[in-house]
Structure 1
Amino acid sequence: MLNINIRDINMKFKTSNEVFSPKNADKGTLAMLSVVEFDGNDKVLDLGCGYGIVGIFSSKITGSTNVVMTDIDSKAIELARENIVLNDVQGIRLYQSDGFKNIDEKDFTVILSNPPYHTDFSVPKEFIEKGFNRLSTGGKMYMVTKRKDWYKNKLISIFGGVRIWEIDGYYVFMAMKKDTSYANIKPKKNKKK
Structure 2
Amino acid sequence: MAISNINQLLIRNLEAFAATRPLLVNIADDGFIAQYLVQHNVTQLDSYHSNYAEYQAAKRIVNPRIKSHFCVEYQAKNQHDMAIIHFPKSKAEFSFTLAMLAQSMAKDATIIIVGENKGGIKSAEKLSSEYLEFCHKVDSARHCLMYVGKFKASLPHFDLQQFYKYYSIKVQEKQLKIAALPGVFSQNALDTGTEVLLAHLPKNMSGKVLDFGCGAGVISAYIATVYPETKLSLVDVSALALHSAQTTLTLNQLTGEYIASDSLSNVQERYNFVISNPPFHQGVKTHYAATEHFLAQIKQNLHKNSCVTIVANSFLKYAPIMEQAIGKTQTLAIEKGFAIYQCELNNKIEKNN
TM-score using structure 2 length: 0.47
Say which SS state the counterpart of residue 214 (structure 2) adopts. coil
Give the deviation of 1:177 after TM superposition.
2.1
TM-score using structure 1 length: 0.84
1:96 aligns with 2:260: yes
Say which SS state the counterpart of residue 264 (structure 2) adopts. coil
Counterpart selection for 1:133 from 276, 286, 300: 300
Q: Check the 8 A contact 1:144/1:173 in 2, yes or no.
A: yes
State, as a whole percentage, how many aligned pairs show the same letter: 22
1:114 aligns with 2:277: yes
d(CA) in 1 for partners of 2:311, 2:198: 10
Partner of 1:52: 217
d(CA) in 1 for partners of 2:215, 2:246: 10
Counterpart selection for 1:41 from 200, 206, 217: 206
Say which SS state the counterpart of residue 137 (structure 1) adopts. strand
Partner of 2:338: 170
Give the deviation of 1:48 after TM superposition.
0.5
Partner of 1:158: 325
Find runs of 4+ consecutive structure 1 residues off by over 4 angstroms: none
Say which SS state the counterpart of residue 81 (structure 1) adopts. helix
Partner of 1:69: 234
Partner of 1:182: none
- Greater shift after overlay, 153-162 or 52-61? 153-162
d(CA) in 1 for partners of 2:189, 2:219: 13
Bigger radius of gyration among the two:
2
Give the deviation of 1:22 after TM superposition.
1.1
d(CA) in 1 for partners of 2:274, 2:314: 19
> More strand per residue: 1 or 2?
2
Say which SS state the counterpart of residue 68 (structure 1) adopts. strand
Give the deviation of 1:61 after TM superposition.
2.4
Cα-Cα RMSD: 1.9
Counterpart selection for 1:21 from 168, 177, 186: 186
Superposed CA offset, 1:152-182 (max 9, x none):
2111112332111101110110012249xxx
Give the deviation of 1:63 after TM superposition.
2.2
Give the deviation of 1:83 after TM superposition.
1.2
